[in-house]
Amino acid sequence: MQYWNYVQTTFFEGNLGTSIASRRPITEEIRDRFPATIELAFGAMLFATLLGVPLGFLAAKRHGRALDHISLFVSLIGVSIPIFFLALILKWLFAVELGWLPSVGRQDVLLETEHPTNFYVLDGIITGSWGAAWDALKHLILPAIALGSIPLAIIARITRASVLDVQNEDYVRTARAKGISMRAVDSRHVLRNAMLPITTIVGLQVGLLLSGAILTETVFAFPGLGTWLQAAISNRDYPVIQGGILFVAIIVVVVNLLVDLSYGFLNPRIRLAGR
């Protein structure tokens, strides 16, 4: 009965309960902190995708050469290094030693600016405060690199394996035999057909990003869902833990559903097979 009552209040009434520590509704705290985690996860996935896909593609095109071996070694290192350890190294090197980037927070505490959406980079653009947008972006760089290191390594390896499989298919050899340029063959036939497993792994990495955000946000004092859940665990704030984990689980399910729906746009054969 307790579980059924919780399901009713959660899914039918949208009430996740009240925090024991702050006495605030959990939905309000999620609304305040979720934009920070989304901003961090988006930056990490953008970093991982923009570097991982080209790295894996070039490694596959130069299979067995030096670049291929270097990419495999880098991806192995990326998967092996714990997120919190890499975060500490990045923080020490770029914030403490070099002083290039800030080490904590989402924005300079002395900077006064409006936040209509609570997405700090977007808010700076909307309000025309380019200095605030750049400051928020600088605070985002180190946490995004630390959080995106493992997805970068996984995406690079999956891209390499997928491209190696696709470039030996009959339709690729036929396109080359027709005299189509290598750039057109790679973009239209090889990379497009290799994108299905890459898209799948990108969707699966969302859960990893949200779970890794707890460590990353804690190291960089980034005020998102991760630090919120970490503080709730330390304070034994069970309603926050329960509501926060349920919310993260729903986000992971929705993202994977969107990934499955995107298959039809990437591969027309899947659209035709579903009719």
176, with CB counted inside 10 A (0-12, 13-18, 19+), is middle
Q: What is the CATH number of domain 2-273?
A: 1.10.3720.10
Residues of the chain falling short of pLDDT 70 = 211-212, 263-264, 266-275
- 251: closest CA among 42, 28, 12? 42
* φ/ψ of residue 247, rounded to 5: -65, -45
pLDDT on residue 266: 65
C-alpha span between 189 and 267 (Å, rounded)? 11
Centre a 10 Å sphere on the Cβ of residue 166 and count the other Cβ atoms it contains.
Answer: 21
pLDDT on residue 133: 84
pLDDT digits (tens, 9 = 90+) for 61-111: 877 788 778 878 877 887 788 888 888 898 888 888 888 888 888 888 777
* φ/ψ of residue 157, rounded to 5: -70, -40
C-alpha span between 20 and 23 (Å, rounded)? 6
* φ/ψ of residue 106, rounded to 5: -100, -25
pTM: 0.80
